[in-house]
Structure 1
Amino acid sequence: MIEVSNVQKAFDGNPVLKGINCTFETGKCNLLLGGSGTGKSVLLQCIVGLMKPDIGSITFDGTVYTNNKVGIRQEIRRKIGMLFQGSALFDSMTVAENVAFPLQMLTPEMSAEERRDRVEFCLKRVGLENAGTKMPAEVSGGMKKRVGIARAIAPQCTYLFCDEPNSGLDPATSIKIDNLIHEITHEYNITTVIVTHDMNSVIEIGEHIIFLYEGQKLWDGTKDEILNVEVPELKEFIFSSSLVRAAKRVDDEGGLAAITDEQGANI
């Protein structure tokens, strides 16, 4: 579990995070939801230690991370896996070498054979057991995301952070990536935090959702609760999608009627 307490952050006197209090639950996909410029990525960077909050504290499973001793912060960082928005693979390394990179950096006690076994296991877990010798330029966008997930979990992370994991992917591939993250979260009992503005991800895997608006947390709940919210800013955000509006109508009717767009055509 990760606990965020009164986290505030400003740039050049302009407040970006205005006293955020929230909890990210273990064994669940925790979604940080909101539009562009609402503070999602800044909060993520504060949590993982890439940025220091001006005020407030962040606690990982009872251990305070903010302003703690260097050794304690480093120990927590070793338990963090990160899936970057653009995958951030090294172009000059093969897929297998990319996955092995954090093992070389964080687990020097592992033998070369143990690292190879771990890389093979992680690639197989994400369905890329035959892609280890390929270069990043030789694989698709969805495969790159899966390589990024394999690299993130290679050091057996306790906390997994995903920054817009569906960015640049087609809808079908996005769902596959969402489901893979969800499966891994439950399989390894990881505390997973996903920054997103994608309502498809909310409906698919939103077990715990935190909605940010103008640097403040306005709501938290589950995917089953979000369609019935009474927070005006959140209602405006989620019902900007015709698909979500249609899903709401079907939910209200309690049936399996065809979901239609605003013109009444099947989608």
Structure 2
Amino acid sequence: MIRIENIHKSFDGKPVLRGISGTFEKGEPNLIIGSSGTGKSVLLKCIVGLIEPDEGHVYFDDKEFTNSNRDTKTEIRRQIGMLFQGGALFDSKTVEQNVMFPLDVLTKMPKAEKLDRVNFCLERVGLAGQNHKMPSEISGGMKKRVGIARAIVNNSSYLFCDEPNSGLDPQTSILIDELILEITEEYNITTIVVTHDMNSVLGIGDKIMFLYKGEKLWEGNKNEIMTSGIKEFDDFVFANKVMRKLREI
């Protein structure tokens, strides 16, 4: 579980996050949604410690992270897996080397043990036998799956996904969503997904936080979307043609 309390962040005097609080539960995907520029990615970076919030606190399973000492932060960061928007693979490394990278940096595991773990994770994301391919030789969807394998290779307790379906076709996006859901449930990890893809929201939105101009305006699940009663949220949701048709049914 991850808990955030009263997170504020400004840049050059302009508020980007205005007192965001919430809880992200284990074993189910937690989605942060909203239009571009609403603070979704900034909030994610505050949670993982890439950006220091001006005010507020972040707790990982009741361990205070924001103002903790270096050792505590390092311990928590070892348990974090990240799936970046573009995949963020190393172009000069093979699939195997990309997935193994966190083990090289964070552990003293023997090489044979690392390879066993890499092969297990590649098989789990449907990429068994793709070890020696370069990123330039695989599709966008495969790159995202490599990114997921790398994110979980260190037995992560927390998985963060920043726009995991960006640049993917609808069919591949569904496969990535299903994989994120399966891994979250199977390993009982705390997963936070930043997205503006309504297909993802309807598919895996067990818990959803909606940001608008740096504030949390709505929180609920995919079954409660149609009855939010909040204009700004409705405008965001029903900007999608498919969603408008569903509303009319």
TM-score between the two structures when normalised by the length of structure 1? 0.92
Residue of structure 2 in register with 1:204 after alignment: 203
What code does the residue aligned with 1:33 have? I
What code does the residue aligned with 1:161 have? F
The alignment-based identity, stated in percent, is 60
What code does the residue aligned with 1:196 have? T
Deviation for aligned residue 1:130: 1.6
Residue of structure 2 in register with 1:74 after alignment: 74
Residue of structure 2 in register with 1:52 after alignment: 52
Structure 1: runs of 5 or more not aligned? 251-267
Could you tell me how far apart the structure 2 residues matched to 1:127 and 1:228 are? 38
Deviation for aligned residue 1:227: 1.7
Structure 2: runs of 5 or more not aligned? none
What code does the residue aligned with 1:157 have? S
Deviation for aligned residue 1:245: 1.5
Could you tell me how far apart the structure 2 residues matched to 1:200 and 1:45 are? 24
Could you tell me how far apart the structure 2 residues matched to 1:132 and 1:190 are? 26
Deviation for aligned residue 1:4: 0.6
Residue of structure 2 in register with 1:22 after alignment: 22
Classify the secondary structure of the residue corresponding to 2:192: strand
Classify the secondary structure of the residue corresponding to 1:227: helix
Could you tell me how far apart the structure 2 residues matched to 1:151 and 1:227 are? 36
Could you tell me how far apart the structure 1 residues matched to 2:222 and 2:106 are? 36
Structure number with greater Rg is 1
Could you tell me how far apart the structure 1 residues matched to 2:246 and 2:113 are? 48
Classify the secondary structure of the residue corresponding to 1:118: helix
What code does the residue aligned with 2:145 have? R
2:43 aligned with 1:43, yes or no? yes
| 1:183-207 deviations in Å (ceiling 9; x for gaps) | 0000000100000001000000001
Classify the secondary structure of the residue corresponding to 2:186: helix
Q: What aligned pairs does 1:66-215 form with structure 2 within 5 A after superposition?
A: 66-108=66-108, 110-215=109-214
| 1:153-199 deviations in Å (ceiling 9; x for gaps) | 00000000000000000000000000000000000001000000010
Could you tell me how far apart the structure 2 residues matched to 1:249 and 1:124 are? 42
Task: Give the alignment's Cα RMSD to 1 decimal.
Answer: 0.6
What code does the residue aligned with 1:133 have? H
Could you tell me how far apart the structure 2 residues matched to 1:178 and 1:167 are? 12
Could you tell me how far apart the structure 1 residues matched to 2:240 and 2:2 are? 31
| 1:30-56 deviations in Å (ceiling 9; x for gaps) | 000000000000000000000000000
Could you tell me how far apart the structure 2 residues matched to 1:67 and 1:212 are? 25
Deviation for aligned residue 1:249: 2.9
Deviation for aligned residue 1:111: 0.8
Deviation for aligned residue 1:221: 0.5
Deviation for aligned residue 1:229: 1.1
Could you tell me how far apart the structure 2 residues matched to 1:188 and 1:25 are? 13
Residue of structure 2 in register with 1:232 after alignment: 231
Deviation for aligned residue 1:248: 2.5
TM-score between the two structures when normalised by the length of structure 2? 0.99
Could you tell me how far apart the structure 1 residues matched to 2:196 and 2:146 are? 22
| 1:115-161 deviations in Å (ceiling 9; x for gaps) | 00000000000000021110000000000000000000000000000
Deviation for aligned residue 1:5: 0.2
Deviation for aligned residue 1:107: 1.3
